[in-house]
Structure 1
Amino acid sequence: MHSFVIGNWQFLQTAHIGILLFAQRLAVLLLSAPLFGVVMLAAGLDGFIAWYKRRTSVGRESGFIYHRAKHGFNHTWLGVWVLYLLPPVVIDPRWVIPPILLLVWLATRLAVGYFKKYL
């Protein structure tokens, strides 16, 4: 076992640093989860008001926009993984989290605002 550790020391050290970096970034995202929750709640309420106004004023219904927003929401979370959690270089979360918050807000607001069924 000792010779295995000595022979692969650089690999083990690199893997350790990578795991620590990933865990630190994951902790930053978990600690910002309440912020994502507040943004989604605000966007949901704004979308609900737009949905209600559209339903009572006989506005345009668009299943296309709803489905694109729903898929965009999932793609935003995939973008978080690809752009923030996976790269092996140091990335400041102040450059990544606010644009992702805007995308989450937009996708949530459009998905709720263009929901075609009755709530």
Structure 2
Amino acid sequence: LKTYLQAAMFVTLMTLTRCVILVLTSPLFILAAIVGFTDGLVSRDLRRFGAGRESAFIYHHAKRLVTPIFFTGWLFYLSLPFSIHPNLFLLPCAFLFGLMIAIATSSFKKYL
């Protein structure tokens, strides 16, 4: 029984440590969202003032993928059974999160 309690304690400690790491990397995701939003607005203005083509298809699909990319990265990091450096996993997730926000913002059709 002692071995099982010890294993449960170690799993709980590892999960809590990873939760703290995720909370501390939330500014990375906020920064990626701000940069993606700004880049998307610039791309949107260039497209609108340059008489570019507008399509709502890209906007709706990019908007739909923003939340799953955010939560999937966090859930995969919490569920990995082996140790991995957070930068190897969370930086690509933050990049994809910012990219999807930039795509969704740049393809937004309506007036702001």
* TM-score interval, normalised by the smaller of the two chains: 0.7 to 0.9
Structure 1 residue aligned with 2:31: 38
Distance across 2 between alignment mates of 1:51 and 1:87? 38
Number of residue pairs aligned between Structure 1 and Structure 2: 112
- Supply the RMSD in Å over aligned alpha carbons: 1.5
Match of 1:95 among 71, 88, 112: 88
Query: Residue 82 and residue 35 in structure 1: after superposition, are their counterparts in 2 closer, same or farther (change >3 A)?
Result: closer
Residue number in structure 1 paired with 2:98: 105
- For 2:110, the equivalent position in structure 1 comes to 117
Gaps of 5+ in 2: none
Task: Give the aligned residue type for 1:56.
Answer: F
TM-score normalised to structure 2 length: 0.88
Q: What pairs with 1:1-119 in structure 2 (closer than 5 Å)?
A: 8-119=1-112
**Matched-pair contact (CA < 8 Å) for 1:72–1:107:** yes
Structure 1: 5+ residue stretches without partners: 1-7
Displacement of 1:62 in angstroms is 2.1
Deviation for aligned residue 1:51: 1.0
1:11: how far off? 3.0
In the alignment, the residues of structure 1 paired with residue 106 and residue 9 of structure 2 have an alpha-carbon distance, to the nearest angstrom, of: 45
Check 1:101–1:81 CA distance in 2 against 1; reply closer, same or farther (3 A cut).
closer
**2:7 & 2:37 partners in 1: Cα distance?**
43
Seq. identity, % = 35
Contact 1:70 1:107 in 2 (8 A): yes
